[in-house]
Amino acid sequence: MSISADQKRALDAQAVNNFREYLQIPSVHPDVNYDGCVKFLRSQAQSLDLPVKIITLVTGKPIVILTWIGKEPHIPSILLNSHMDVVPVFEDKWKYKPFSADIDDEGNIYARGTQDMKSVGIQYLEAIRRLKLEGVQLKRTVHVSFVPDEEIGGVDGMKKFVHTEEFTALNVGFALDEGMASENDDFVLFYGERSIWHIHIHCPGTPGHGSLLLNGTAGEKVSYILNKFFEFRKQERQKLEDNKELTLGDVTTINLTKLEGGVQPNVVPPELTVVIDCRIPVTVDHKKWEQTIKGWCREAGPDVFIEYSQKGTPVPATKLDNSNPFWIAFKQTTDALGLKIKPQIFPGGTDSRFVRGVGLPAIGFSPINNTAILLHDHDEYLNKTTFLKGIDIYCKIIEALANIEHRTG
C-alpha cells in the first residue's frame, strides 16, 4: 500500500513536530533527568502500536527499547541505537534558545541534539511509522534502543547493557548507530573507532624554594615528557598533510588537557601531573604504544608513573566485505538511492564500540550531508529538508537490513 501525497505531507509535519518536541526535552549533562525522554518515547511507542520496555541497570539511567517483531523472530535481529543525552550548552553563545527548537526562514531547526543525535532516534521511529503504513512486513525483528550517558562515556548505558541477559535476549545480529554530518555531498559511514586513553602521568621531583636551581624537579620531568608527546603529535599531523586519503581516524591524536599540581609561585612542587587525551587507531599495536610511553617516562627521570582514567582496548572494526551480508545490503541500498558513501574510522567514541566489543557488526551512520558539522558546538542545527530526507533513506535501509535471509552453518 503506497502513501498518498496528502498522507506524506501529514507524516512530514508529524515527524518535524515529534523531532522538535524531543529536542525541547533538556536531557543535558551534567545532571540529566531522563523522565521527559521516557514519557515521550512511551507515547511514540503507543502511536506506533509497538511494545516498549524500560530497563534500568543504574538508578535514574533508563534504557528504552521499542520492538517491531518480524515474521521470523527467531533469527538475529536489527538494533537501531541512539542516545538520549546531550552535552552542555553555553546559552549566551546561541542565536536561539538551545532547547526551544526554533526554525528559521531557511528551515534550519536550532537546538542541542539536532545532529548529535536526537535526529537519528526520531528518524528511526518515523521510518518505521511509514513502513507500517505501507503494510511492509519484515523478516527480522527490529529493536529501537534509546540509551543514557553516551556523552560521558556510556559507562552506565551501553557499556553495561551489552553484558546483560536483557541484551542477549534481543538476539542482535547487526546494529546501526550514530555517524556525523558531512559538509559536502558525501555521507560518511563509520565501521570502527579509535581506542580512547586518558593518561595521567605523575612526575614527582625535588621540591624547594623557587630561587634555587634544583636537580630532578617535577617541572623538568614534565618538560621532557611533553616534548616527546608533542614531537610525536607533529609527526601524526604530518601524516595527514602528506596523505590526503587519510582521515583523523587513521592517526593517533595527542592533546594535553590538564596540568595539575603546585601551591604558589615561589615553591617548587613535590609533584606535577600531566593529563593527556590520546585516541589510538585500530591499526596501531596498543602494547607497543604503551611501551613507548613507559619508555619516555623512564627517560624523564626516576619515580615517574602512569595512571589511566580511561584505557580502551582494541576492538576489531566491522568488516565491509562480502563476509558481512548487512554491509552488502546497506551498500546496495545506498547505491540504489544514489548516495555517495565514504567509509571511515570514527575519530571519537560512540556506543558502537561496546557493540563491536561483544563481537557484533555495527555501523555508524547519520544521513546528514551538505551541512556544517556542529555536534557539541554553539548554534547546532539541522535543516528540516535534510531531516525529512533522512527518514526516506532509513525507510529503505531498515527494510533492506531486516529482510536479509538468515545464513545457517
- Joined together, the cell numbers standing for residue 334 give 545506498
Q: Average pLDDT for residues 107-127, to the nearest whole number?
A: 98
| Digit-coded pLDDT (tens) for 48-85 | 999 999 999 999 999 999 999 999 999 999 999 999 99
Beta bridge partners of 102: 110
pLDDT score of 266 more than 60? yes
Name the residue with cell 524531543. 22
6 is catalytic: no
What pLDDT is attached to residue 359? Answer: 97
Q: One of 149, 150, 178, 193 is an active-site residue; which one?
A: 150
The set of long-range contacts for 11-16, using a CB threshold of 8 Å and a minimum separation of 24, is 11/126, 11/129, 11/130, 11/133, 12/388, 14/126, 14/129, 15/122, 15/126, 15/129, 15/387, 15/388, 15/391, 16/109, 16/384, 16/387, 16/388
What pLDDT is attached to residue 408? Answer: 73
Interhelix angle for 384-402 vs 325-336, to 10°? 140
What pLDDT is attached to residue 305? Answer: 98
- Structural contact between residues 102 and 384, judged by C-beta atoms closer than 8 angstroms: no
pLDDT score of 1 more than 80? no
Share of the chain above pLDDT 70, in %: 100
How far apart are the two ends of the chain, measured CA to CA in Å?
A: 36
CATH hierarchy code of domain 5-179+350-402: 3.40.630.10
351 is catalytic: no
Average pLDDT for the chain: 97
- Structural contact between residues 29 and 87, judged by C-beta atoms closer than 8 angstroms: yes
5-179+350-402 and 195-311 have identical folds: no
76 vs 169: CA distance, rounded Å: 10
pLDDT score of 260 more than 60? yes
Q: Average pLDDT for residues 21-47, to the nearest whole number?
A: 98
Q: Order of strands, edge to edge, in the sheet holding 108-110?
A: 102-103, 108-110, 381-383
Of the candidates 194, 197, 195, the residue with the CA atom closest to the CA atom of residue 275: 197
In single-letter form, the type of residue at position 213 comes to L
Of the candidates 180, 182, 196, the residue with the CA atom closest to the CA atom of residue 363: 180
88 vs 183: CA distance, rounded Å: 24
In single-letter form, the type of residue at position 284 comes to V
Q: Average pLDDT for residues 255-272, to the nearest whole number?
A: 97
In single-letter form, the type of residue at position 24 comes to Q
Q: Average pLDDT for residues 313-325, to the nearest whole number?
A: 95
**What is the pTM for the complete model shown?**
0.92
Please list, in sequence order, all residues whose beta carbon lies within 8 angstroms of the beta carbon of residue 314, skipping any fewer than 6 positions away.
195, 280, 282, 286
119 vs 97: CA distance, rounded Å: 18
Q: Average pLDDT for residues 342-368, to the nearest whole number?
A: 96
Q: Average pLDDT for residues 141-166, to the nearest whole number?
A: 97
**CATH architecture of the region 195-311:** 2-Layer Sandwich (3.30)
Of the candidates 179, 176, 147, the residue with the CA atom closest to the CA atom of residue 27: 147
- Joined together, the cell numbers standing for residue 164 give 546483560
The per-residue DSSP string of 327-373 comes to HHHHHHHHHHTT--EEEEEESS--THHHHHHTT--EEEE----SS--
48: left (phi over 0), alpha (psi -120 to 50) or beta: alpha
What pLDDT is attached to residue 348? Answer: 85
Name the residue with cell 602528506. 242
What pLDDT is attached to residue 2? Answer: 84
Domain ranges of the chain: 5-179+350-402, 195-311
Q: pLDDT band at 121, cuts 50/70/90?
A: very high
pLDDT score of 100 more than 80? yes
What pLDDT is attached to residue 409? Answer: 57
Of the candidates 239, 309, 324, the residue with the CA atom closest to the CA atom of residue 278: 309
Q: Average pLDDT for residues 188-192, to the nearest whole number?
A: 97
Of the candidates 163, 160, 140, the residue with the CA atom closest to the CA atom of residue 150: 160
62: left (phi over 0), alpha (psi -120 to 50) or beta: beta
61 vs 41: CA distance, rounded Å: 14
Q: Average pLDDT for residues 129-151, to the nearest whole number?
A: 98
Q: One of 85, 126, 156, 193 is an active-site residue; which one?
A: 85
